[in-house]
Amino acid sequence: MSDFTSNFWSVYVTVITVASILACLLLLWLSGKTKAMTASDNTTGHVWDGDLREMNNPLPRWWVWLFIITILFSGAYLAMYPGLGTYEGKLGWTQAGQHAAEVAKGNKEVEPLYARFNGMKPEDVAKDPQAMAIGDRLFMNNCAQCHGSDARGSKGFPNLSDADWLYGGAPDVIKETLVKGRVGNMPPMAAAVGTPDDVKNVAHYVLSLSGSPNDSVRASLGKAKFGACAACHGADGKGNPALGAPNLTDDVWLHGWGENAIIRMVNEGKVNQMPAQAGKLTDAQIHVLASYVWGLSNKGTAK
């Protein structure tokens, strides 16, 4: 409840919760005190199906005590656990705290399993069948949501099974990506390139770099305007791993291929983020996972 935007909502939740419990207690007390109008035969006068009559008998005492125990339990629960606005409860329990404790317990239990791989080079870990089976599970649980179960990615999510790497495919670079995450940012470049026609010419020049179908006249006109892009992608268009700037001379198109896709990228820019995994995985797990990912694009080497 620490994410309330103001103290009002904390008070609001507290008042509603306490009032609801007191209202239940009051209703229970009134139902035991109030006498319903009954006929001489102790029925309420309600009749169903011709002869089914509703009697005016009090609730069984054991049932009444169940209601009372439930109300007392709710009071004890709210005293011990969070439930009254920003009040944290006497036990200081939180969902995040319990999750962290359970994760720590699980990591402790599997620690001996990872110990064997700690001193091994990533290239050697990638040759170990047990390590790769563990890496596959780690990948499915933490990476497949974006990169796909086959690691081939999709639009906006890199293919990890080929040799094309934005930041480099060495084991230590992959490990750094997992630990720290990545934020790729291509700013809108239309103003730097020039007119809309200039942007279109640059798009065709970019297509020509990879041997893709293009308008050669527009490509020749766009070459000079490509200078605005060279600071990141290089004068030859082969990219810059230090910046995560993609190689434009291959046939890998992370955000879509074709004239329209390139024009949209130049006009609007793009921000991509790979979240850091250091807070989710242990160092040993990251070591195995990085080795597994490296092995995906180095299958011939990792045998």
Task: Give pLDDT, residue 47.
Answer: 82
> Domain map of the chain by residue range?
1-106, 120-181+275-296, 185-274
Q: Which of 2-11, 125-134, 137-146, 157-166 has the lowest mean pLDDT?
A: 2-11
Q: Are 150 and 140 in contact (CB under 8 A)?
A: no
H or E element that contains 35: none
- Residue with the larger pLDDT of the pair 83 and 44: 83
Residue 289 pLDDT: 97
Question: Which two tokens mark 211?
Answer: 């041997």
Quick one: pLDDT band at residue 2, thresholds 50, 70, 90?
low
Q: How confident is the model at residue 178 (pLDDT cuts 50, 70, 90)?
A: very high
Are 259 and 204 within 8 A, CB to CB? yes
202-211: which pairs have CB atoms within 8 A and are 24 or more residues apart?
202/226, 202/228, 202/229, 202/262, 202/266, 203/259, 203/262, 203/263, 203/266, 204/259, 206/237, 206/248, 206/262, 207/258, 207/259, 207/262, 209/237, 209/248, 209/249, 210/248, 210/249, 210/250, 210/251, 211/251
Average pLDDT, stretch 47-54?
82
Average pLDDT over residues 123-128: 95
Is the pLDDT score of 291 beyond 90? Answer: yes
Can you identify the CATH homologous superfamily of domain 120-181+275-296?
Cytochrome c-like domain (1.10.760.10)
Least confident interval from 29-33, 117-121, 126-130, 246-250: 29-33
Say what the pLDDT of residue 235 is.
95
pLDDT for residue 39 = 65
pLDDT category of residue 38 using cuts at 50, 70 and 90: low
Mean per-residue pLDDT over the chain, rounded: 91
Mean pLDDT, to the nearest integer, of 173-189? 96
pLDDT value of position 54:
79
State the alpha helices, DSSP H only, in 210-296. Answer: 216-225, 227-233, 259-268, 283-296
Fold match, 120-181+275-296 / 185-274: yes
Q: How many angstroms separate the CA atoms of 180 and 148, rounded? A: 21
The pLDDT assigned to 51 comes to 80
pLDDT for 64-81, tens place per residue?
899 999 999 999 999 999
Rounded alpha-carbon distances, angstroms, from residue 297 to 122, 149, 152, 161: 13, 15, 10, 5
Could you report how far apart the first and last alpha carbons of the chain are, in Å? 52
Residue type present at position 23: A
CATH of 185-274, one of 1.10.760.10, 2.60.40.10, 1.20.58.1180, 3.30.413.10: 1.10.760.10
Residue-wise pLDDT for 274-285, tens only, equals 999 998 999 999
Mean pLDDT of the 209-230 span: 96
Average pLDDT over residues 11-19: 93
